[in-house]
Structure formats: C-alpha cells, structure tokens
C-alpha cells in the first residue's frame, strides 16, 4: 500500500508541476476535468451521479469554466449569475419531477458546483495573477505541505486531540506543526526563487503569512470532507488515485486553501 501510495503521489506531483508551469488554457481545461470528476464523486454519495440534476451540475461547470476563459475579469459576475440560473434550473427539475428527488439532493447538487468547481478554479485565478507562476504553489505548500508536516509532528509528539470524534488521529501539536511547517516551506521556496520573482524580503514575509493562513484553513477543508464521509458512512470518495482514494480525498484541503490563497495574494501582495 505504501509503495502504491508513493508512486501515485509522485505521478500526481509531476502532473501538477506540468500543469502549473503550463498555466493558461491547459491548466483551465485540466481543472474543469478534475472538478467534474470531483463532483461525480460527491454526487455518488447522494446517489445522484447519473441523474438529470447532476447533468445540470456538470453543465454549470462547463459554462463557468468557459466564462473564465472568455473573461477572467468578470469571474465574480459569472459566479453570481451562475448561482441564480443553476438554482432556478434545479428547482424546476425538482418541482416538475416531484416527488422523484428529495430537497437535500437538490441542495447537494447546488452545493457541489461551488464546493468543488468554483473553489478549485481559484487555482487558475491565482496562476493568472502577477507573479502567479510562483504564487500558485502556495496553495499546495499550505495544504499538502501542512498535511505532511502535521502528520510528522503528530506522530512524534501529538498528545492533545484536535477533533477526537471526527478524526481521532489528528492532534493540536500536529496542527501547530503543520502551520509552522507550511510557513517554513514557503520561506525556503521564496528564498529559492527570490531573484526570479524580483521580490523583497517583505514580499517573502507576506508569502509566508499567506501560507500560514492557508494552512489553518486547509485543516478545516480536510475535516469537512471527513465529516461528509462520516455522515454517509463511506471510507473514500473514489479510487481514481491508487493509495489516495478519489479526487476529493486528495484535494479536500486544496479546495479550501485555493480561494484563501487567491484572495490574500490578490489584495495583500
């Protein structure tokens, strides 16, 4: 299992590096595919993955990502318009097929579009910022970097449970270690590329601060995904990534970190 998890993790990182470096339409298209697969995994929890409601969700993803391609500056307007139109369409299906679907299923489809697709799109939005080719990696340093550091510190000195019912293995010490680790990793990363970014030490300090905030939020994302799985008594969302589970199992923290990093990077540095 460890070998499988390691090998698939390496492949995932290589793909991520290639997409992040390429940026532009390549990254946007990849995120659209990843978002659709992630939504499929989520909708399967509610037994909706092949329903007419889910088709509306998948279509909304394509429309949203196409809108980003055509005009990234109007992303906020796109989200606002999408939310209204999608809700009207879903409620139309709901009332005209009543009682085929339950209210919670309609809300799950609506939730999935924003929880997965819109939030993951912030990876692309971050990549398109000035110096975005460097800032986009803060998303992963503050999510996966935090997760790795938290695990190591938790195993070594973890004593106080952070969420004993939801995730008994996670500790307060591990959480602190994860945040500190993400900050240190970001500082090392910033120093390595400081000349290429043509940035000051103050800029690097802000990068580290942003990663620290992102690391805190990433743990909420991880626990939120775990809570959904616990509620519906499933172990993993999928099996797409050997040793890791599905898209949502691997990107649960990234989903929360991406928008935080995007907005902090956009308005702070």
How confident is residue 138, by pLDDT bands cut at 50, 70 and 90? very high
What is the rounded distance in angstroms from the CA atom of residue 95 to the CA atom of residue 250? 36
Asked whether residue 168 carries a pLDDT value surpassing 90, the answer given is: no
68 and 89 housed in the same domain: yes
Asked whether residue 59 carries a pLDDT value surpassing 70, the answer given is: yes
The mean pLDDT of the chain is 93
User: What's residue 269's pLDDT?
Assistant: 83
136 and 118 housed in the same domain: no
66, 97, 128 - which closes a domain: 128
What is the rounded distance in angstroms from the CA atom of residue 105 to the CA atom of residue 111? 10
Least confident window among 57-61, 133-137, 234-238: 234-238
Q: Is 47 helix (H, G, I), strand (E, B) or coil?
A: coil
Q: What is the mean pLDDT of residues 4-8?
A: 77
User: Considering its fold, how many domains does the chain have in total?
Assistant: 2
Q: What is the mean pLDDT of residues 169-180?
A: 95
Let me know: does 36 contact 49? Beta carbons within 8 Å.
no
43 and 113 housed in the same domain: yes
239 and 181 housed in the same domain: yes
160 and 118 housed in the same domain: no
What is the rounded distance in angstroms from the CA atom of residue 150 to the CA atom of residue 53? 38
124 and 176 housed in the same domain: no
Least confident window among 21-35, 84-98, 162-176, 181-195: 162-176
What is the rounded distance in angstroms from the CA atom of residue 261 to the CA atom of residue 252? 15
233 and 261 housed in the same domain: yes
Q: What is the mean pLDDT of residues 140-155?
A: 94
6 and 28 housed in the same domain: yes
Q: What is the mean pLDDT of residues 13-35?
A: 95
Asked whether residue 1 carries a pLDDT value surpassing 80, the answer given is: no
Residues 6+ apart with CB under 8 A from 149: 177, 178, 180, 181, 182, 185
What is the rounded distance in angstroms from the CA atom of residue 141 to the CA atom of residue 60? 30
Q: What is the mean pLDDT of residues 225-241?
A: 92
Asked whether residue 152 carries a pLDDT value surpassing 70, the answer given is: yes
What is the rounded distance in angstroms from the CA atom of residue 227 to the CA atom of residue 247? 16
Q: What is the mean pLDDT of residues 28-32?
A: 97
**Domain limits for position 229:** 131-269
How confident is residue 120, by pLDDT bands cut at 50, 70 and 90? very high
Q: What are the residue ranges of helices labelled H in the chain?
A: 2-22, 24-45, 52-70, 75-96, 103-112, 119-127, 132-135, 138-141, 144-157, 172-192, 194-197, 201-231, 247-268
53 and 136 housed in the same domain: no
User: What's residue 83's pLDDT?
Assistant: 92
User: What's residue 218's pLDDT?
Assistant: 97
| Residue of higher predicted confidence among 99 and 5 | 99
What is the rounded distance in angstroms from the CA atom of residue 264 to the CA atom of residue 261? 5
Name residue, tokens 């989903």.
255
Let me know: does 227 contact 236? Beta carbons within 8 Å.
no
96, 128, 160 - which closes a domain: 128
Asked whether residue 2 carries a pLDDT value surpassing 70, the answer given is: no
What is the rounded distance in angstroms from the CA atom of residue 19 to the CA atom of residue 109? 28
User: What's residue 220's pLDDT?
Assistant: 96
Q: What is the mean pLDDT of residues 67-92?
A: 87
124 and 145 housed in the same domain: no
Residues 6+ apart with CB under 8 A from 133: 20, 21, 23, 127
104, 128, 152 - which closes a domain: 128
29 and 80 housed in the same domain: yes
The H or E element spanning position 161 is strand 161-163
Tens of pLDDT, residue by residue over 80-104, are: 889 999 999 999 999 999 999 999 9
265 and 240 housed in the same domain: yes
């Amino acid at each position: 299992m460890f070998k499988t998890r390691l090998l698939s993790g390496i492949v995932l990182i290589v793909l991520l590096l290639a997409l992040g470096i390429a940026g532009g339409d390549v990254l946007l298209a990849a995120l659209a595919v990843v978002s659709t697969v992630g939504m499929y995994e989520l909708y399967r929890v509610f037994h909706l993955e092949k329903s007419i409601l889910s088709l509306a969700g998948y279509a909304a993803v394509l429309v949203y990502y196409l809108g980003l391609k055509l005009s990234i500056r109007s992303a906020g307007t796109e989200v606002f318009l999408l939310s209204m139109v999608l809700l009207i369409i879903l409620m139309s299906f709901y009332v005209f097929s009543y009682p085929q679907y339950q209210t919670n299923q309609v809300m799950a489809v609506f939730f999935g579009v924003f929880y997965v697709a819109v939030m993951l799109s912030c990876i692309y939005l971050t990549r398109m910022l000035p110096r975005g080719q460097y800032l986009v990696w803060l998303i992963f340093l503050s999510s996966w970097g935090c997760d790795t550091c938290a695990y190591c510190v938790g195993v070594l000195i973890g004593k106080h449970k952070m969420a004993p019912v939801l995730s008994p293995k996670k500790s307060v010490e591990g959480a602190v270690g994860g945040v500190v680790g993400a900050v240190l990793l970001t500082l090392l990363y910033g120093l390595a590329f400081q000349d290429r970014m043509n940035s000051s030490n103050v800029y690097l300090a802000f990068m580290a601060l942003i990663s620290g905030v992102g690391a805190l939020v990433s743990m909420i994302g991880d626990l939120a995904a775990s809570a959904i799985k616990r509620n519906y008594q499933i172990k993993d969302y999928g099996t797409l990534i050997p040793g890791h589970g599905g898209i949502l199992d691997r990107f649960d923290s990234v989903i929360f970190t991406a928008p935080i990093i995007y907005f902090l990077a956009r308005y702070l540095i």
